[in-house]
Amino acid sequence: MPDSLRQTLLSIRDLLATVGPFVLLALALLVPAYYVLDPTPPKKVVLATGAEQGAYHAFGKRYQAILKTYGVQVELRNTQGAAENLALLRDPASDVQIAFVQGGADESLEGTDGNEEEPTLVSLGSMFFEPVWLFYREDAAQRLLKSDSLSGISQLGGWKLNIGAPGSGVPNLMKKLLEANHMDPTQITLLQEPQTPAVMALLGGESDALVFASAPESQMVQMLLQTPGVKLFDFAQAEAYSRRFPFMSPVTLPRGVVDLAGNLPPQDVHLVAPTATLVAREDTHPALIQLFVQAAQQVHGGAGWFQRKGEFPTALNTERPLAKEAQRFFQSGVPLLQRYLPFWLANLVDRMWPVLVTIVAVLLPLSRMLPPLYQFRIRSRVFRWYEQLRQIESAIGAKPSAELLAELDTLDGKVGQITVPLAYTDELYALRSYIVLVRSRLTDHVPGVEAAAPALASNVTPTAPGATA
């Protein structure tokens, strides 16, 4: 083996022997912390949406596409609506972790001011307005009211009204609206059919009106707004409804927004709009919540029929406490590291830095022991031969000088094979000098033998500065 390669390998060995235990201790602290904090988000999440033709499902597909770029698979779970979504979130046996929920759809919050905390569910923020669309047949209004239009919910007595499937949030919402208008539900023939059959029943004349809450992106909303003979109820008291129900906001469907050329609608229409939120289980991985909130900005942050650009998502009107990651996003925006690093790396650093600081605080004092340990290891390579040299010197006069000279030659040969960094060669030269001194004393006891000392430098092989053996 070339001498330079041998010296390099010995240097690496000394470095590993000195620093290795320190590195192992750092890993012993870091690995358990990594598994406890679990900074990497799961690769799959189940998002409960709604009917396949509804706005929830359309938005869900956009979330699915965005999170796919981060390596997260979003499985969309079609449901009847907000009430079923909440039931799935609360069911321990369900695999649904995040869901769209309509404001006012939760019966457990009825009678509260919308601020009652739920220990198991958290909000990711309000995502968009979800107006209450009450469509009715114009001929039904003429037949039942002797008028072309419906002017108030209190006029629905005797109507066949479809309020949506039991799993949606509309039945509970309509219950509140009817109670606010002193309407007895028994005065109305309430039908509870899914959205598509309900629309077909309205168009076929089997029902007089239907109501559902949805974003205007819904295919059914778009179709009914342009269907002749079907009118949209104008909530003239929208402002009053919003004061009675904090989860509602008054919104206006502007004249001509559906079709400018056809002037649809022909005048401004006042509506009440619960706010749709994303709700998650409180044990959902923080990185997933962070991804969903950031994706929400892309999905819901643009301008629409009822909001201006940047109005959503928002922390307002959430009915449930905000998740910590969502609150952080609304206060500070995208984390600083994610603006310059890939998400996985920024998330890893963001989640692990408190642990890293703690580990550094523990290891920093220990690191001061490394230079003394390294120095001890190198010097012990020289000093361990002094014991044998002292034994040879102590035996002068007690053992034959020829025998002691032979032992001294053996010792000198072993010392000649020692390699040390240049910073420690003075100690190696000192050892070689003492060997010469002992040899000189021995030759004084052997007549006719000269004290021939081998050249010191010829057998000393120092390494480069900082190298180890």
| H or E, element range at 98 | strand 98-102
Tell me the one-letter amino acid at 392.
I
pLDDT at 467: 41
Sign of the dihedral through C-alpha 346, 352, 357, 363: negative
What values do phi and psi take at 285, rounded to 5? -60, 130
Model pLDDT for residues 249-291, shown as the tens digit of each residue? 999 999 998 889 989 899 999 999 998 999 999 989 888 999 9
- Indicate if the pLDDT at residue 419 is higher than 60: yes
Check if the beta carbon of residue 126 is closer than 8 Å to that of residue 316.
Answer: yes
Q: Is 213 exposed, middle or buried (0-12, 13-18, 19+ CB in 10 A)?
A: buried
pLDDT at 66: 95
**pTM of the full structure:** 0.64
Check if the beta carbon of residue 230 is closer than 8 Å to that of residue 202.
Answer: yes
Over range 81-88, report the average pLDDT.
90
pLDDT at 469: 38
pLDDT at 355: 73
Mean pLDDT of the chain: 83
Model pLDDT for residues 114-134, shown as the tens digit of each residue? 444 444 899 999 999 989 999
- Partners of 272 in beta bridges: 250
- Indicate if the pLDDT at residue 214 is higher than 70: yes
Helices 425-444, 386-394: inter-axial angle, 10-degree rounding: 10
Model pLDDT for residues 86-118, shown as the tens digit of each residue? 999 999 889 999 999 988 777 654 444 444 444
Return the closest-CA partner of residue 150 out of 219, 210, 229, 233: 233
Over range 50-71, report the average pLDDT.
90
pLDDT at 379: 83
**398: pLDDT confidence band, cut at 50, 70 and 90?**
confident
Bond from prior residue into 265 cis (ω within 30 degrees of 0): yes
pLDDT at 135: 96
**460: pLDDT confidence band, cut at 50, 70 and 90?**
very low
The residues near 284 (Cβ < 8 Å, ≥ 6 apart) are 45, 97, 98, 122, 323
Q: What is the DSSP string of 77-89?
A: E--SSHHHHHHHH
The rounded distance, in Å, linking the Cα atoms of 174 and 190 is 10
The rounded distance, in Å, linking the Cα atoms of 377 and 381 is 7
